[in-house]
Amino acid sequence: MSETPLIWIIDDDDISKYVMNRNLRQLSVTNVIEFTDSTQPLKILSDNFDSTDKLPDIILLDLYMPILDGFQFMEKFKVAIKRIKKNIQIYMLTSSFSSEDVDRAKSIPEISEYIVKPITLRNLTRIVDNVLQE
């Protein structure tokens, strides 16, 4: 992997994306692609199974979005990941404190962590450091 990970932010909330980008810039992470829903990222994943340089190291995935929510994205991701030759860490982000959402997220092994928004600089530092240490 390069010195800076490729991060996909899949979130329909502009304020959340702004905060995440601002914090990532403080960490000198500028290799970030934003999506307002999860359909385009799924297409990119399915079109690039063997092109790991086009695939993210980290996905910051909002739970509640239009078209496909975070859980629906994960169902499709679990199918795609079988053909992908890259370890992609997924962090589910939400403003929901629902124990049902937390339990459901924890039951999906492909989700590295469930984080309540707003994501902090400290959390992002830990996430980026984990990927860089791989």
Domains of the chain: 7-132 (3.40.50.2300)
The model's pLDDT over 87-127, given as tens digits with 9 standing for 90+, comes to 999 999 998 889 999 999 999 999 999 999 999 999 999 99
The model's pLDDT over 16-37, given as tens digits with 9 standing for 90+, comes to 999 999 999 999 999 999 999 9
Task: Quote the Cα angle for 64-66-67, to 5°.
Answer: 120
Model confidence at 1, pLDDT cuts 50, 70, 90, reads very low
- Please count the CA atoms within 13 angstroms of the CA of 81 that sit on its side-chain side: 15
Residue-level pLDDT at 50 = 85
CA dist., res. 83 & res. 134, Å (int):
20
